[in-house]
Amino acid sequence: MEKIVHFDNAAILAMEKRFRANFINSVTGYKSANLIATKSNEGATNVAIFSSVTHLGSNPAMLGFITRPTTVPRHTYANIKENKFFTVNHIHSKIIDKAHQTAASYDKDESEFEKTGLTEEYLDNHHAPFVKEAFVKIACEYVNEYPIIENGTLLIVAAITDIYLPETSYTNDGWIDLNRTRGVTINGLDSYSAPDLLDRFSYAKPDKTVQSILKKE
C-alpha cells in the first residue's frame, strides 16, 4: 500500500502560494464546469469560467455560485447586480481551451466572447447572452447574496427561469445524461476531465437494497 502523507494546518500554511492554491482546490474533488455569461445595461458582454455552480433546490428551481472578493473589479458580479440576469452554460470537451481562456483578466470593455472565440447567442428575449457552443444552457435571475465573512467571498443565489438542452439528453424520469452532452468536470484550477458514467441506482430506502436502474445499451 502506498505511503500516506499527512498535512496538518501548519504544513498547509507553510506551502508555497501557488502550490497551496492548486492543492486545496484539488483536495475537495471534482467540481462543476460552467461559463457564466452576463451583459451590462450599456451592452458590454462578459463570459467567465466558474467551478462553484451548485444545485440549491428543485422547487423552486434554484442554483448558487461563489464569487471571489470584490476588492478588485468583478465584471460578472457587477453586471448581475446591475440588472439581475445571467446565464449558466455547461462546458464540454470541445471548448475547454476557450472556456479556460475566459479566466484571463480582460478589461471591462473587452468581451471574453470576442477574445476567446466563443459565440454570443440570444434566446427568447433574455437580456444576458448564452454561449452558443454550449449544449446545456440555463437562464437565471439574481435572488440574493450571502457574504462569507471568513474569506470575503459571496454566495450568489439565483432562480432558474429557463433551461435549453438537446431533446435526447434526458430520460423520461427527468435524469440528464451529461455523457450525451460531453460535459466535463474541473479538478483544481487548470485541469479538465470527462467523467465516465458508472451506474444509476434506485431511490435509497432503509428497508431495501438499492438496485441498478441504468439501461445498458
Q: pLDDT by residue (tens digit) across 9-23?
A: 999 999 999 999 999
61 in a structural domain? yes
Establish if 209 belongs to a structural domain.
no
What domain range is 140 assigned to? 31-193
**122 in Cβ contact with 85 (< 8 Å):** no
In a domain, 172, yes or no: yes
CA neighbor of 26 nearest in space, from 34, 38, 18, 36: 18
pTM over 0.85, yes/no: yes
Query: Does 24 reside within a domain?
Result: no
The CATH code of the domain that includes 141 is 2.30.110.10
Q: Residue 200: how many CB atoms within 10 A of its CB?
A: 15
Query: Tens-digit pLDDT profile for the chain (217 aa)?
Result: 799 999 999 999 999 999 999 999 999 999 999 999 999 999 999 999 999 999 999 999 999 999 988 777 789 999 999 999 999 999 999 999 999 999 999 988 899 999 999 999 999 999 999 999 999 999 999 999 999 999 999 999 999 999 999 999 999 999 999 999 999 999 999 999 999 999 999 999 999 999 999 875 4
Q: What is the tally of structural domains in the chain?
A: 1
- Is residue 184 within 8 A of residue 192, CB to CB? The reply is yes
Residue 87 falls inside a structural domain: yes
Contacts 24+ apart (CB under 8 A), 148-153: 148/66, 151/69, 152/68, 152/69, 152/70, 152/71, 153/66, 153/67, 153/68, 153/69
Q: Mean pLDDT in the chain?
A: 94
Contacts of 148 (CB under 8 A, 6+ apart): 66, 154, 155
Question: Domain for residue 103, yes or no?
Answer: yes
What is the rounded (10 degree) CA torsion for 155, 91, 192, 172?
90
